[in-house]
Amino acid sequence: MNNQKLLNRGMVATLLAQFFSAFGDNALLFAILALIKQLHYPDWSKPVLQMVFVVAFIVTAPFVGQIADRFSKGRVMLFSNALKLFGAVTICIGVSPFLGYVLVGIGAACYSPAKYGILGELTSGDNLVKANGLIEASTIAAILLGSVAGGYIADLNELLSIMACVLMFAVAMVANSFIPKLMPARTDVSWNIFTMITDFVHSAKVLLTHQQARITLIGTSLFWGAGITLRFLLIDWVPLVLGIHDNKTPTILNAVVAVGIVVGAGLAAKFISMQHTMRCIPAGILMGIVVICFTVQSSMVTSYILLVTIGMLGGFFLVPLNALLQNFGKQTIGAGSAIAVQNFSEYSAMMVMLGLYSITVALSISVLWIGIGFGILFSLAILLLWIWQKQK
């Protein structure tokens, strides 16, 4: 179903489903963080909570892309949101928040390749870049509202905040039901576990042997590893630098980054075509520099300005790379399989960066030095990626 019209019924339903699902994801994270804070877990357990979510993506990566391509992607999204809902419910009834968050992570892992893979089935050409811009804008709007709502409601009542997430996942399931039942992208998927792993490895090799796909994988992995670290950096930076100890302020600052990403995604959709996606890379270099500037200042107004700028640069950097990978995947191994490999790469980077962040916190290294070092390393990594791309 390659419909040239951008906002067709399936696209609108996908955008709505993504908004409510991502809203629940982000509100749930801050709700659980508030819960473990109330239960007096150690500070290093906060990034560990995110790590258990990330593990779900890494472990399921060889399978979820093939599932997304083997079934109608709208139905895969529906099932995935049902699993997220179940995970949130288990936390409400007293199951370990870490175990419940693993279930939500498995649901999110299944959801991701279907969510991005369906875009190439609902639209095509330069509209694919625009569709990516819309899906990222929907995601970031959900991060904006979900993060703030999660922190605000958690300040009132942690359990109520988690129950609100259950409601969001239920609404997302309703939106999923309006996505047209599309034909599976592949019908040759074997359900033998060893065959699926072999197929995943083959998909990874196809992407890694293609120059632009390889650079895209590295670029998006660095971005999301940096993004998840920045989230926890903000949580620890606020009480240290601003002297504010509530749950709401860090979520507001994370939401400010989200506002910037919406703007950056829109600019990328407008100014970068499928033929010139690599023009986005310098924005990643600047992003790391602005992170350093943010870390060393202590003004709330300046914080807002710099965080919006970080978000804009991030959105401008990410959207074209996602569109490039989806387009290449659609033409070769299937968009779902390509995105599953991308997820494995991105979440492996997140695991490494979260692990390093947990270690630095456990060693009592100042969050200011962590932020400065993080910004320097990120800028250098993207600069090296840019130079490598120019030399090819």
Count CB neighbours of 130 within 10 A.
20
**pLDDT higher at 275 or 331:** 331
Fold of 9-177+208-391: Growth Hormone; Chain: A; (1.20.1250)
**pLDDT higher at 221 or 247:** 221
Domain ranges of the chain: 9-177+208-391
pLDDT of 321: 85
In the DSSP assignment, the letter for residue 210 is: S
**pLDDT higher at 63 or 16:** 16
pLDDT of 78: 93
**pLDDT higher at 45 or 111:** 111
Q: Residue 2: pLDDT band by 50, 70, 90 thresholds?
A: very low
Mean pLDDT lowest for which of 54-68, 107-121, 183-197? 183-197
Q: Residue 274: pLDDT band by 50, 70, 90 thresholds?
A: low
What Å distances lie between residue 112 and 74, 181, 239, CA to CA? 11, 18, 33
Residue 299 amino acid letter: S
Spatial separation of the C-alpha atoms in residues 3 and 265, rounded to whole Å? 22
Q: Residue 158: pLDDT band by 50, 70, 90 thresholds?
A: confident
Spatial separation of the C-alpha atoms in residues 78 and 81, rounded to whole Å? 5
Which token pair is 207? 């992407």
What Å distances lie between residue 222 and 1, 30, 107, 214, CA to CA? 33, 23, 23, 13
pLDDT of 338: 80
Q: Residue 62: pLDDT band by 50, 70, 90 thresholds?
A: confident
Which token pair is 382? 């993207």
Give the closest residue to 29 by CA, choosing from 230, 170, 232, 204.
Answer: 232
**pLDDT higher at 344 or 117:** 344
pLDDT at residue 1 tops 50: no
Spatial separation of the C-alpha atoms in residues 182 and 391, rounded to whole Å? 41
**pLDDT higher at 68 or 316:** 316
